[in-house]
Amino acid sequence: MQYRELSTPVLTVDLDALERNLGRVADLCRRQGVGLRPHTKTHKSVEVSRLQLAQGAVGLTVAKVGEAEVMADAGFDDILVAFPIMGAEKLRRLATIARARRLLVSLDSESAAQQLSLAAAAQNVTIGVLVEFDAGGRRCGLDPGPDLVVLAKAIEKLPGLKFRGLMSYFGNVWGTPEQRRAEAEHVAELVTRALAAFRAEQMPVEIVSGGSTPSAEFAHLIPGLTEIRPGTYAYNDLNTYYQGACSFEDCAVRVVATVVSTAVPGRAIIDAGSKTLTSDLLGSGPKSGYGYIVEAPDVPIIKLNEEHGYLDITQTQHRFHVGDVVTVIPNHVCVTVNMHDEIVTLRQGEAVGCWKVAARGKVR
């Protein structure tokens, strides 16, 4: 069946583009001499994780315990939970995973480490810990200096935990290629400062985990980095495109939607609203609109209701008719994927399969 005949709205992935994206970043990592631990938050899919590991990924990254459970149940090992996990119920589940899988958890406080230690010790397991530092994004993470060593030493004293290294998210490496390179150079200084604090105490740091999609090509500028965790690169999206970090052809995921009304002059309405595309605005490029319509690039999606997408057709030569099918490249693909139970796989426009978005909605 051709994608145009699918029941809409529907999430689709072009397998040729996906495979190209996975191969390109796996090669990039090999050339830069860093490991690749892809963040599965983008695809939330067992099938894509399998492809990433087959391309040489050193392990996987997740944000949630529920996501870790999905990937562990699928048989994958060496999973980093790159989020400080709090609360007895989630910590107990985390320790249960560690009974059968190598697990890493990142955190930035002694309080989080103590709670993790209690859960690990209760099930007689050892959980690896990466201490998070702030590489300039001002989200989580300690200042890259002696505070990191203090926390690492405290972790070493806690039962059930092993200090394995450092972790940071380079979300501040964003913008044009020039802006991203300059910020990556700043990150390099901070990583160097963090590692110097450990050297001063003769404390080994086995893993230095960093990265994101827009910073992936600059990993070689950051001395001491052992692995990167891009997620978006598998599917790409408009945010990645407008930073010059991918082409439209690399945007593997598209929402296929149908024009359901043209009754109001100057408007065409599609059956993809905020429950399909999400309300995430662009963080790069024009920073407006809710997606890119491939068939009519000059037509902005100016507003969303839950089920309705509003197209402004006042400035276009393109004629829209009720029943027309359009394809939309999402602004932020990770959250769009999280709205869908399944994703239809395409080869040259032909639907060839369907994957479950197995880790969608796993917010705990």
Ligand X SMILES: Cc1ncc(COP(=O)(O)O)c(C=O)c1O
Contact residues toward ligand X (CB under 6 A) are 39, 61, 82, 169, 212-214, 229-233
Task: State the minimum distance, in angstroms, from the CB of residue 45 to ligand X.
Answer: 15
Q: Which CB, 191 or 326, lies closer to ligand X?
A: 191
Q: Pairing relation of β-strands 127-132 and 161-167?
A: parallel
Task: State the minimum distance, in angstroms, from the CB of residue 82 to ligand X.
Answer: 4
CA distance 143 to 138: 10
CA distance 299 to 294: 9
Largest interatomic CA distance in the chain = 72
Q: Which CB, 81 or 293, lies closer to ligand X?
A: 81
Q: Which of 73, 1, 57 is nearest to 25 (CA)?
A: 57
Task: State the minimum distance, in angstroms, from the CB of residue 239 to ligand X.
Answer: 8
Length reported for the chain? 364
Q: Which CB, 61 or 276, lies closer to ligand X?
A: 61
Radius of gyration of the chain (CA): 22
Residue 298 burial by CB count (10 A; 0-12/13-18/19+): exposed, middle or buried? exposed
Q: Which CB, 11 or 311, lies closer to ligand X?
A: 11
Give the tokens for residue 92: 């107990």
Q: What is the DSSP letter of 220?
A: G
Residue 263 burial by CB count (10 A; 0-12/13-18/19+): exposed, middle or buried? exposed
Q: Which CB, 6 or 25, lies closer to ligand X?
A: 25
Q: Which CB, 83 or 292, lies closer to ligand X?
A: 83
Task: State the minimum distance, in angstroms, from the CB of residue 112 to ligand X.
Answer: 15
Q: Which CB, 101 or 229, lies closer to ligand X?
A: 229
CA distance 145 to 207: 16
CA distance 51 to 337: 18
SS3 state of residue 278: coil
Q: Which CB, 137 or 145, lies closer to ligand X?
A: 137
Task: State the minimum distance, in angstroms, from the CB of residue 13 to ligand X.
Answer: 16
Task: State the minimum distance, in angstroms, from the CB of residue 238 to ligand X.
Answer: 13
Residue 356 burial by CB count (10 A; 0-12/13-18/19+): exposed, middle or buried? middle
Q: Which of 261, 281, 282, 285 is nearest to 271 (CA)?
A: 261
